[in-house]
Amino acid sequence: MYLCHAMKMKVTLVQMDIAWCDVASNRQRAEQQMLASAGSDLYVLPEMWNTGFALKPQEIAEAPDGETLRWMQQMARRLDAAVAGSMAVCEGDNYRNRLYFVTPDATFFYDKHHLFSYSGEDRQFLAGDKRVVAEWRGVRFLLSVCYDLRFPLWLRCHEDYDALICVASWPTARADAWRILLRARAIENQCYVLGVNRVGEDPACEYFGGSAFVNPYGEAKECPDGVASSLTADIDIPALRHFRQKFTSLAERDIV
């Protein structure tokens, strides 16, 4: 069943407490949270949701068509929905932080462009060089991962997307930046923003969550901090189109 222009799309943000490098446990946790919010058109999981943000990809990376991707495809068919989330993948001698956007019938993917040099991610992974827009049931989603959020030119809307997905492992120490940047990207691009962050701890950081659904006005609904939880909200495409036509800042953007 496809979304008609008079309808809304229901999306669920899945804020997880990720077990360190425990793929089976993390799939189980994700499945439980997704099934508890059955009926959505899209489920968004955090960055490296199946392992945590581990910087030894040789120990965690899967083949591009590996078991975790097949699980995402199975869940998409089971829920008749799209499932999005990033994971480490291996292609020959190269490793990618790859965000998959999986529907019951198709798989899109985006390789993280801005690798987090502060943590050394750029020394372990190969950056992607292509923006990716995935369309699902009448809604166009620009895909991004964590550190990408800080780069507005990379994420600038050229009237080619309706909603921005940003999956993250964003630590508590920079919580204010996360919240401000999500709203800024929504306001400047007149789009919905789906920001999904994790909670819990890994060997390097503590994570607060702050997963948020932000509307084109910059108004946000958030998951509670510090706990695994889910948030469901509606993307209203007719309302978005009306706003863009009435208040034309996006059409008047600088071309650089």
The one catalytic residue among 8, 21, 31, 47: 47
- d(Cα 98, Cα 115) in Å, to the nearest integer? 11
Query: What is the rounded CA–CA span in Å between residue 100 and residue 53?
Result: 16
Q: What is the mean pLDDT of residues 117-143?
A: 97
- What does 168-208 look like in DSSP terms, one character per residue? ---BGGGHHHHHHHHHHHHHHHTSEEEEE--EEE-SS-EEE
**pLDDT of res. 122:** 97
**Alpha carbons within 13 A on the beta-carbon side of 161:** 22
Per the annotation, the verdict on 112 as an active-site residue is yes
Q: Which residues pair with 83 in a beta bridge?
A: 43, 102
107-111, strands of its sheet edge to edge: 107-111, 94-102, 82-91, 42-44, 8-15, 229-236
Q: What is the mean pLDDT of residues 31-57?
A: 97
How are beta strands 163-167 and 139-145 bridged, if at all? parallel
Give catalytic status of residue 121 as yes or no.
Answer: no
pLDDT at 2 over 60: no
What phi, psi does 102 have (nearest 5°)?
-115, 130
pLDDT (0 to 100) of residue 7: 80
The reported pLDDT for the residue numbered 3 is 46
**pLDDT digit string, tens, across residues 76-113:** 999 999 999 999 999 999 999 999 999 999 999 999 99
- Cα–Cα distance measured from residue 192 to residue 220, given in angstroms and rounded to the nearest whole number: 10
Provide the pLDDT for residue 4. 44
Instruction: Label residue 162 by pLDDT band (50, 70, 90).
Output: very high
Nearby residues of 120 by Cβ (< 8 Å), 6 or more positions away: 55
Dist. CA 131–CA 111, nearest whole Å:
9
pLDDT digits (tens, 9 = 90+) for 177-229: 999 999 999 999 999 999 999 999 999 999 999 999 999 999 999 999 999 99
Given the residues 146, 157, 166, 223, select the one marked as catalytic.
146
Residues 214, 70, 95, 136, CA torsion sign? negative
* 3-state DSSP assignment of residue 140: strand
Please enumerate in sequence order all residues whose Cβ is within 8 A of that of 193, keeping only pairs 6 or more positions apart, or say none.
Answer: 163, 164, 166, 182, 183, 185, 186, 212, 213, 214
Confidence at 1, pLDDT banded by 50, 70, 90: very low
Among 1.10.3720.10, 3.60.110.10, 3.40.190.290, 3.20.20.140, what is the CATH number of 9-246?
Answer: 3.60.110.10
Q: What is the mean pLDDT of residues 160-176?
A: 98
Instruction: Please state, rounded to an integer, the average pLDDT across all residues of the chain.
Output: 96
pLDDT band at 256 (very low <50, low <70, confident <90, very high): confident
Exposure class string for 41-77: b at 16+ Cβ within 10 A, else e? bbbbbbbbbbbbbbbebeebbbeeeeebbebbbebbe
Helix and strand numbers (H, E) in the chain are 7, 14
Q: Which of 112, 157, 166, 223 is catalytic?
A: 112
